[in-house]
Structure 1
Amino acid sequence: MVDEVADKEKALQPEDVLAHLADDLGREGFQRSLDEQHTATFVARGPKILVTFETLQNVLQISQDGTPIGLDFAEDKNWSLLHLTAPEDSWFRAPAVYAFFDELVDDCFFEDFDQVAFYGTGTGAYAACAFSVSAPGSNVLAIAPQATLDPERAGWDARYPEAKRLVFNDRYGYAPDMVEGAQRVYILFDPFRALDHVHASLFNGPNVVRLKCRHLDGLIELALRELDVMHQVTEAAAEGSLQEGDFYRLMRRRRDNNRYLRTLVHAVNRRNQPLRVALIAKYVLDKNRGGPFFRRALTHAKDVISRRGPLPDWLMDDAQEPQQTPEANPSAAL
């Protein structure tokens, strides 16, 4: 496994991601270096355009072959793509980026498209919200965005010391204000990550739809890919048609995602709920999808429960599937 990771890191380098984008330009596309950190790539395809903000670091961590999320979506759905790239977290706070979007507005660039949407995650989500003001009536899909990191307004968020050198109170600054002209703004966040929850709560306009993604441990974008719903969610959000009920129905697939289930076990353990831990672990192991983590979790939960009283019948070693009662229904624990 270590060799595989090393091989991947050796094979995929930041310049490879930009080269991958450049390969898809076509005759009408372009790739432009905006400054030492930021690159803009336009891939001309269909009459709808997705504007994405990604760090090269994130692409290399998430993608198997170095294909950015936006390019993967654009190829699948025949959307045009405007991709903003930075080597690492910059929140795209740079005069060269401001000037680029000013130029797009002056050239009426977005008016040539039937639909405009902005997408990003984390620092890219902040940028997607902030720069969506350049295309009024667009839709925004922002995964765990920061509203701002201006110390006067968000001094309570000390997670990003590198942001202290950046200015968040000038142009394209306070993201909740910048999305006021959007048609729909979808904010995906994990409510159990307290600071992400606070940032999400600052987006409170009538055009904002906040969608809770519980127990995904800051990896919502990766989870959407693993659940094979990334393109479906992105397309619906980009067109402004994503409904809360439909989103949560899609997210039920996480019940069979071990990353989510491991995070859920940790969360339930912290709340000292051994019976629920046992339900989750047994649910996974009975589907033959578990490993040492879930076996250890089940063993520990049984030990805690037995010290408090007798084990329920469905937790005995020779027990069959738990009966579908409120106390022993695996789905109720997920």
Structure 2
Amino acid sequence: MPDYDEIPSPDLSLSDLPAEAWSAELARLGEAQGHYEQVGPDHAALFCEAGRNLLVTFTSFEEARRAPGALPFGYRLAARLGWSHLAVLSRGETWFRDSRLWGYFDRICDDGFLEDFDRVLFYGAHAGGHAAAAYSLAAPGARVLALRPVATLEPSLAGWDRRHMEARRLDFTSRYGFAPDMIEAARAAYVVYDPHLGADAAHAALFRSEPCLALPARFAGAGLEPMLKRLGLLEPMLEAAMEGSLEPEGFAQLWRHRREDPSWLRALARRLEGPAHRRRLKAVATYGATTKDAGYYRRVLETLEAVEAA
């Protein structure tokens, strides 16, 4: 088993450990570098102390174990930048809706724990995006970066969202429930979503209070977070969000790199199939023919040329 220094290391890895040993090592890691607390049967909080900036992330144990180094996302970034990191972990798809978790955030708020940091950034994607926005209430003046955040799954407010039927049974009406209201005390809230994904766009539209800044990521689809990770864009976005500089212009510059993602480019090409978009599809295919996926786009161009010649 690894020996832990008091200062988090970006090179730490817990890979290749059996499940029980891995869980025990997370607890040991927290005890060495900050604290580790089981919060009811379905959640835990791992805190690793480093600097005066705090990154708060929401993810599942399953996702953390699959991540590089088998560590919760954010640990290595925080270690590299000298940030402190609080990882809130769930077992399964809990949507972080648990009264014991509400109590945990109430307690660290009352204890002044979150006031010890110069800057606090809450981050999460989809279910984690809901949690990041909702629990930011515990740290007024914090910033939030939420990818595809869900405002609520309460049927009376979001009955149009039919994607997560089981989760609709959870309590979204009690503490930290309606995320757009919880975010009003934030200094800034960056909401990144695909406006072409209907349900995601509808949730994003509910985040309309003054701290919220909508950042459209067109044609990213439900795979927004994995794509940002593949392209190496998520970490600079988190750095900019922590600094409060993730403005539309800066995000647009980062988002231009989406063209380097084969999955995104193919999805765009598929959306442009049909007579009405032939000119745009030709432009996309011409660019695609310069990438590693050149063979596919050359075939698209050949098909377009045959149609035009007919």
One-letter amino acid of the structure 1 residue matched with residue 200 of structure 2: D
Aligned partner (choices 185, 188, 191) of residue 192 of structure 2: 188
Identify the residue that residue 44 of structure 1 maps to in structure 2: 49
Select the residue among 36, 54, 57 that pairs with 2:59: 54
Q: 1:58 to 1:273 in 2, by over 3 A?
A: farther
> Which aligned pairs between 1:64-79 and structure 2 lie closer than 5 A?
64-79=68-83
Aligned with 1:245: secondary structure?
helix
8 Å CA contact 2:289–2:295 kept in 1: the answer is: no
- Give 3-state SS (helix, strand or coil) of 1:69's partner: coil
In 2, Cα distance between equivalents of 1:17 and 1:276: 49
CA drift at 1:295: 4.2
Aligned to 1:133: 137
Kindly provide the CA deviation profile for residues 184-227 of structure 1, in whole angstroms up to 9, marking residues without a partner as x: 00000011101100100100011111001111122222222222
- Distance change >3 Å, CA 17–CA 282, structure 1 → 2: farther
How has the CA–CA distance of structure 1 residues 303 and 90 changed in structure 2, closer, same or farther, with 3 Å as cutoff?
Answer: farther
Maintained 8 Å contact 2:43/2:88 = yes
Is the aligned partner of 1:111 residue 2:115? yes
Q: 2:270 aligns with which of 266, 272, 276?
A: 266
Does structure 1 residue 221 correspond to structure 2 residue 225? yes
Q: Does residue 154 of structure 2 align to residue 150 of structure 1?
A: yes
**Cα distance between partner residues in 1 of 2:241 and 2:28:** 27
- 2:99 matches 1:90: no
**Counterpart Cα distance in 2 of 1:39 and 1:231:** 24
* Residue in structure 2 matching 1:300, options 286, 295, 303: 303
CA drift at 1:21? 4.3
How far apart are the structure 2 equivalents of 1:18 and 1:238?
29
> Which protein shows a greater Rg?
1
Partner of 1:29: 34
SS in 2 for 1:45: coil
What's the CA shift for 1:262?
Answer: 1.2
Q: Distance in 2 between matches of 1:80 and 1:271?
A: 53
Trace 1:309-324 onto structure 2 (pairs within 5 A).
none
Secondary structure, counterpart of 1:225 in structure 2: helix
Distance 1:279 1:241, change over 3 A: closer
Tell me the residue number matched to 1:159: 163
Alpha-carbon separation, structure 2, partners of 1:232 and 1:17: 29
Secondary structure class of the residue paired with 2:79:
helix
Further displaced range: 253-262 or 134-143: 253-262
Assess if the C-alpha contact under 8 Å between 1:14 and 1:87 holds in 2. Answer: no
For these two proteins, the number of residue pairs brought into alignment is: 296
- 2:185 aligned counterpart, secondary structure: coil
**With structure 1 as the length reference, what TM-score do the two structures score?**
0.82
Given that residues 132 and 178 in structure 1 are in contact (C-alpha distance below 8 angstroms), is that contact kept between their aligned partners in structure 2? yes
Per the normalisation by structure 2, the TM-score is 0.87
Root-mean-square deviation (Å):
2.3
Residue 236 of structure 2 corresponds to 232
AA matched with 2:110: D
**Percent of pairs identical after alignment?**
36
Q: Report if the CA contact (8 A) 1:275-1:301 is conserved.
A: no
- Give the equivalent residue in structure 1 for 2:3: none
Query: Following superposition, which runs of at least 4 residues in structure 1 exceed 6 angstroms of deviation?
Result: none
The Cα of 1:230 is off from its aligned counterpart by 1.7
- Ranges in structure 1 where 5+ consecutive residues have no aligned partner: 1-9, 308-334
Q: Any conservation in 1 of the 2:141–2:185 contact (CA below 8 Å)?
A: yes
Question: What is the identity, as a one-letter code, of the residue corresponding to 1:45?
Answer: A
Aligned twin of 2:172: 168
Look up the equivalent residue of 1:79 and give its one-letter code: W
Q: How far apart are the structure 2 equivalents of 1:14 and 1:144?
A: 30
Cα distance between partner residues in 2 of 1:168 and 1:241:
31
Report the alpha carbon displacement of residue 138 of structure 1 after superposing the two structures with TM: 0.4
99-108 vs 140-149, which moves further: 99-108
